[in-house]
Amino acid sequence: MSGAPTPVTRPIADTDRTRDLSSWDDAGWRGLRVVVTGLGVSGFAAADTLAELGAVVVVVDGADTPENRAKAETLRIVGVADVLLSEEATRSLPAVAGEPADLVVTSPGWRPDQPLLMAAHAAGLPIWSDVELAWRVRERAGRPTAEWVCLTGTNGKTTTVTMVEAILRADGRRALACGNVGTPVLDAVRDPEGYDTLALELSSFQLHWTHRIEPASSAVLNLAEDHVDWHGSMEEYAAAKGKVYENTAVACVYNQADALTRTLVERADVQEGCRAVGFTTDSPAVSDVGVVDGILVDRAFLENRRHEAVALAERADLGPVAPRHTVANAAAAAALTRAVGVSPEAVAEGLRSYDRGEHRIQLVATSRDVMWVNDSKATNPHAAGASLAAFSSIVWLAGGLPKGVTYEELVAAHAHRLRAVVLLGTDSSALRRALAEHAPDVPVHAPLADAEGAGSPDGPAVMAEAVRTADRLARPGDTVLMAPAAASMDQFRSYAQRGEAFIDAVAALMAEHGWDVDDAPGA
């Protein structure tokens, strides 16, 4: 995708047929002709929801696989009019029951320059995300309507939304993290019991197609180059992220260390009385949440905030490995939840109890005074930089599918921490160039790869050899850090499989040598 905006950079939000659709009970859903693109988790939920509403639905997906055929059969049973499974079907806008469509609901993986979406835009059709659809149907007679706490960012989204969910639950609320993580938001809003609060992790893809949501509190955690191939430019990527602030009711939470997040707040059209609240890992100014002497404190959500602060939690509440970016995530989660009236005690309890998950600064083992840390979730340079900043002497396992990003700034900032680099991935050329320019004295090793960086497609085998190589290079006091700064799909199914391969390889290394492991995986 070129840097020029595509015809659907500013998608149409509504027409006369869709403008007044704002609750589950609106009669306008019945008979509405809708094309749903994509048969993944969000697409399936959208088609299922629309069929339940009485819309006439056609689903399009380019993959005619056994899994998709099974999903298609299920959707036909619940009332979906048709499911088209072929690459050809994605190249034009289909009719719905022989008539032109009224609306397209698209899955986040579909790029704005995809032919079907371009045809929909040219026809003047609204194009919605599953998030937009969920907002339009969230109100339903006989069921509570949840408030929404929404966040996005280049990195830290899943950790932060998990923290938000845990804090809300510690405050006694029925809450759920959903959206781009875990449960699809449409399944959450259809839950028979309903929720008090939904914590939504939103991707830039989802926000691009989202128009009218009104979060109680919202946040952009950080912004760095990512998904430029999808959005067309860094400016369009940032604009999509900034849409999370639109129509926010109580607090727009931004990162004091990232000026662009504050700029996005200033550009947003918010509700009357909404405040800008910063978060920081340093001492907080008035109207910030920050850290003083290892204690997370609030100077935003109290009456005498010019002269007082409320203690929320201690750094130790965040677990045995709490690098700076984890503390920043906790500060953001605290600000988002304090904005909706959560008590200070609930913040502390939630941060102590939240599920830290795997593959995010995960301590796998410590043996012979060498730490082995899995951060497979670090799929871009910004995330990897946060990991590298947490340690002083590193054998770095890095590389994978680069997604068009550059590595010069990352390597230049952290070259002084690197004892050695062990390359992963089928094409490490961009990372090699950055290392050669900015860290010329750091040894670079590429097990199971040729001189051009083309590695074996067998990811687990590459990982096992990379771990053995890292062991030979590591010295007491070092951290062997697997923070790839790249996506995983060149050699693995997902970042989770890549992380598991690292964990398995470290365990095999320990067993092979009969070494004692001072800290068990997940400690």
Which residue ranges are tagged as binding site for ATP? 153-159
Tokens found for residue 444:
């670079």
Sign, CA dihedral 210-212-215-217, equals positive
Rounded CA-CA distance 234/223 in Å is: 10
- Whether residue 484 contacts residue 383, with contact meaning beta carbons closer than 8 Å, is answered with no
Sheet holding 362-367, edge to edge: 362-367, 370-374, 479-482, 394-398, 418-423, 444-445
Tokens found for residue 58:
């056609």
Q: What are phi and psi of 124, to 5 degrees?
A: 80, 25
Helices (H), 282-439: 324-338, 344-353, 381-388, 408-414, 429-438
Tokens found for residue 181:
């993580």
Tokens found for residue 80:
């979906």
Rounded CA-CA distance 152/268 in Å is: 15
Q: Can you list the positions of beta strands (E) in 368-478? A: 370-374, 394-398, 418-423, 444-445
| 3 state SS of 168 | helix
Please enumerate, by residue number, every residue annotated as part of a binding site.
Answer: 153-159
